């Protein structure tokens, strides 16, 4: 459910959101709060926002609408806006709250808990204001701006709901650099402007928590020599967490890296310039998202790959790459037993603090492997639960907030750990801590296709892999960790694309990347979806044809007859306002609302009204000149002109 409260008439955003829901394979019912009642909607304990249990609440604010008295200044508007934002941040709704501050003023919103900011910067619109529609129906924006706004809302909501990607795997030749290092030599390739922009983008992604890996058909020494030979490269070898540089199929290497990093292959995406490699990936590792880097417009393309969006970035995200690099020391340990003995593991567990709520909610959304129940929680839900945060450190560094336990009526409702801290005894330490603080607890495990590590841990504790198991305090305190027996690392098997994983990012980035292209796609879809109709009397005159095109656009009808009535075809008051503004754009004249609201206003009669107004607007001198020209015509020419005019009207 998308619930929207705005300071203006925001209903034109609905068809845009519905379009994106269809593109993404989502179901987004949409409801609007009463006009210009944002604060009331935020404060109502049983209102639209409070009742929303899935999706998002959306606030759309035009600062000028916040003036409550004549002569109000921008400072007055800012105070009202601050009041709205503070009220929204204070609410503990069950779903995220998205807020957009709309033009003409650009107001930067400081980060606040429980609020996510909608930005239309990636979808610029030259003409955003519609003064006529604003005057008639408080619709201040053009269809183009509503398209940009709806797209930005849909994009942010999708980022909040989709399973996260965690690793960007990169091809080298013609991707990270221009040229082929094995043929041109390490010094022969170029780091041109587009590749530099790509590398800068990748580093920003790394700072937001993404791991970077290399998956390229090259000799390893050629690749590393190329890195060393180009000090101007933004991306350095130390930024690479994992790599598979060989002539083996990329699908195999990606699955091997996933196994080595204890991640699912469906958390990987591959960026490659070669469409053939991406196609082969679809056969060998369909769970990996393959993206074909274009030859030109790389920066624009990257901005419009929705898979790269990060709606919330926590400190744990920022330190993720460094944490994984510290883990590389595991492989270098001379003795596994000695390694664990000297690990100096430290596990701090405490009641969840309010400032930890964003990270806690993120963990419930992202953690799949060591997760007993995979229950997804919002910040508001967690705020009302008995929840404990788990912080981990060892001699290799600080891993931060990497686990969560929720206890409800003696049952461990949630027990999850980030895969970054598995395999060193953290889970055992957590259970021992629970034994120190609870007389007994029932552990519930719901098996999924991906939580095998959680199942293995429960089996280690109790001999069972699912269901509920009750442990006494003594049993929990007795849990000990022992180093696992050495085992060969096997590549993760190929699996089907994860349920709920959207695969159309390439199409969006290349075909739905501008407002103009989105509007064209919406119009084409509308034509395809429109029911077939018989046209009893097709438009004849130019005015009728131009009006019919407007009606078809607004009403979603494939064919319009001259005898059709606007409201009989599904028109309503909002569409009537839009009809008046579209007629003004098309013909340069403004109809009255009475002209449109007349019960017997058919297409033919509306065309007659338009033509009559256009005739009245002619200059008398021009009319006199036309009469003089007619007087020079022959009788036959006059008859032909009259016949043409009769056909026109």
- Residue-wise pLDDT for 460-519, tens only, equals 888 887 888 999 999 999 998 876 554 443 444 444 444 457 889 999 999 999 999 999
Higher per-residue pLDDT: 497 or 292: 292
Give the pLDDT of residue 72.
77
- Which CA distances in Å does 385 have to 88, 414, 443? 21, 11, 17
Q: What is the mean pLDDT of residues 518-529?
A: 88
Q: Say how far residue 1 (Cα) sits from the centre of its chain.
A: 15
Q: What is the mean pLDDT of residues 111-115?
A: 79
40-87 tens-digit pLDDT: 999 999 999 999 998 999 999 999 898 766 677 888 888 899 999 999
Unique residue bearing structure tokens 């107001």: 107
Q: At what angle do helices 14-24 and 143-161 cross, to 10 degrees?
A: 40
Give the pLDDT of residue 113.
75
Indicate whether 398 pLDDT > 90.
Answer: no
- Bridge pairing between strands 370-371 and 411-417: antiparallel
CA separation for the pair 212, 203 (Å, rounded): 9
Give the pLDDT of residue 500.
53
CA separation for the pair 579, 569 (Å, rounded): 13
What three-state secondary structure class fits 401?
Answer: strand
> DSSP letter string over 353-398?
PGGGHHHHHHHHHH--SEESS-----HHHHHTSEEEEEEEEETTEE
> Quick one: pLDDT band at residue 314, thresholds 50, 70, 90?
confident
What number of other Cβ atoms are within 10 A of residue 385's Cβ? 15
Indicate whether 332 pLDDT > 50.
Answer: no
CA separation for the pair 120, 16 (Å, rounded): 14
Q: Name 12's Cβ contacts closer than 8 Å, sequence gap at least 6.
A: 139, 141, 143, 146, 574, 578
Give the pLDDT of residue 173.
95
Indicate whether 328 pLDDT > 60.
Answer: no
Quick one: what percent of the chain has pLDDT higher than 70?
89
Indicate whether 568 pLDDT > 60.
Answer: yes
Which pair of tokens denotes residue 293? Answer: 């880097």
What three-state secondary structure class fits 623?
Answer: helix
Which pair of tokens denotes residue 396? Answer: 């290799």
Higher per-residue pLDDT: 114 or 180: 180
> Quick one: pLDDT band at residue 339, thresholds 50, 70, 90?
low
Phi, psi angles (nearest 5°) of residue 530:
-65, 135
Indicate whether 256 pLDDT > 70.
Answer: yes
Higher per-residue pLDDT: 553 or 342: 553
Q: Say how far residue 59 (Cα) sits from the centre of its chain.
A: 17
C-beta separation of 137 from 574 below 8 A: yes
Indicate whether 149 pLDDT > 80.
Answer: yes
Quick one: what percent of the chain has pLDDT higher than 90?
53
Q: What is the mean pLDDT of residues 356-368?
A: 89
Averaged pLDDT score across all residues of the chain: 86
CA angle at residue 493 from 481 to 371, to 5 degrees? 40
Q: Which of 197-201, 333-337, 426-430 has the lowest mean pLDDT?
A: 333-337
Give the pLDDT of residue 177.
96
Which pair of tokens denotes residue 17? Answer: 């959101």
> Quick one: pLDDT band at residue 278, thresholds 50, 70, 90?
very high
> Quick one: pLDDT band at residue 649, thresholds 50, 70, 90?
very low
Indicate whether 585 pLDDT > 90.
Answer: no
Give the pLDDT of residue 619.
61
Sheet-wide strand order for 115-117: 30-32, 2-6, 56-61, 97-101, 115-117
Q: Name 51's Cβ contacts closer than 8 Å, sequence gap at least 6.
A: none
Give the pLDDT of residue 494.
42
CA separation for the pair 486, 483 (Å, rounded): 9
């Amino acid at each position: 459910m998308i619930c929207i409260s705005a300071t203006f008439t925001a209903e034109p955003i609905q068809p845009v959101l519905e379009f994106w829901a269809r593109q993404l394979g989502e179901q987004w019912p949409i409801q609007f709060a009463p006009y210009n009642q944002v604060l009331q909607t935020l404060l109502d304990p049983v209102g639209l926002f409070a009742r929303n249990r899935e999706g998002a609440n959306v606030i759309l604010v035009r600062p000028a609408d916040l003036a409550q008295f004549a002569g109000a200044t921008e400072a007055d508007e800012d105070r009202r806006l601050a009041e709205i934002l503070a009220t929204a941040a204070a609410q503990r709704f069950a779903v995220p709250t998205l807020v957009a501050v709309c033009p003409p003023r650009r107001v930067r919103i400081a980060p606040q808990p429980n609020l996510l900011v909608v930005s239309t910067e990636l979808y610029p619109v030259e003409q955003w204001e519609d003064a006529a529609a604003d005057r008639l129906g408080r619709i201040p924006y053009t269809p183009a701006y509503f398209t940009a706004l709806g797209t930005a809302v849909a994009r942010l909501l999708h980022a909040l709901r989709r399973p996260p990607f965690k690793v960007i795997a990169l091809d080298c030749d013609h991707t990270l650099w221009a040229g082929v290092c094995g043929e041109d030599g390490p010094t022969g390739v170029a780091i041109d402007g587009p590749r530099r922009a790509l590398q800068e983008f990748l580093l920003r992604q790394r700072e937001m928590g993404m791991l970077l890996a290399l998956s390229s058909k090259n000799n390893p020494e050629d690749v590393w020599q190329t890195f060393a030979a180009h000090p101007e490269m933004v991306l350095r070898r130390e930024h690479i967490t994992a790599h598979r540089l060989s002539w083996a199929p990329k699908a195999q290497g990606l699955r091997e890296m996933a196994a080595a990093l204890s991640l699912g292959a469906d958390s990987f995406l591959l960026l490659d310039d070669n469409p053939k490699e991406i196609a082969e990936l679809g056969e060998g590792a369909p769970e990996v998202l393959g993206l074909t880097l274009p030859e030109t417009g790389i920066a624009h393309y990257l901005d419009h790959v929705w898979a790269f969006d990060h709606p919330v970035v926590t400190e744990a995200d920022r330190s993720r790459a460094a944490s994984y690099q510290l883990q590389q020391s595991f492989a270098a340990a001379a003795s596994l037993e000695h390694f664990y003995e000297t690990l100096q593991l430290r596990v701090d567990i405490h009641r969840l603090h309010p400032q930890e709520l964003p990270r806690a909610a993120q963990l419930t959304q992202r953690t799949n492997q060591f997760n007993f129940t995979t229950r997804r929680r919002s910040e508001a839900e967690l705020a009302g639960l008995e929840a404990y945060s788990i912080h981990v450190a060892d001699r290799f560094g600080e891993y931060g907030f990497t686990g969560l336990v929720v206890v409800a009526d003696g049952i461990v409702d949630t027990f999850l750990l980030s895969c970054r801290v598995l395999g060193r005894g953290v889970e055992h330490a957590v259970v021992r801590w629970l034994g120190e603080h609870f007389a007994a607890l029932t552990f519930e495990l719901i098996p999924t296709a991906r939580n095998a590590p959680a199942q293995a841990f429960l089996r280690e504790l109790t001999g069972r892999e699912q269901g509920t198991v009750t442990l006494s305090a003594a049993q929990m305190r007795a849990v000990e960790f022992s180093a696992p027996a050495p085992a060969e690392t096997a590549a993760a098997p190929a699996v089907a694309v994860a349920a709920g994983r959207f695969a159309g990012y390439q199409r969006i980035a290349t075909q739905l990347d501008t407002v103009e292209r989105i509007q064209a796609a919406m119009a084409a879809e509308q034509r395809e979806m429109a029911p077939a109709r018989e046209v009893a009397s097709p438009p004849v005159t130019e005015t009728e044809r131009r009006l019919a095109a407007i009606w078809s656009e607004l009403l979603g009808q494939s064919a319009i007859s001259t005898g059709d009535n606007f409201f009989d075809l599904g028109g309503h008051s909002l569409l009537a306002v839009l009809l008046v503004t579209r007629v003004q754009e098309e013909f340069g004249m403004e109809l009255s609302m009475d002209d449109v609201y007349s019960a017997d206003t058919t297409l033919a009669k509306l065309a007659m009204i338009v033509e009559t107004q256009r005739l009245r607007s002619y200059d008398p001198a021009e009319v006199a000149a036309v009469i003089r020209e007619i007087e020079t015509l022959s009788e036959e020419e006059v008859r032909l002109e009259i016949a043409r005019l009769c056909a026109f009207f």
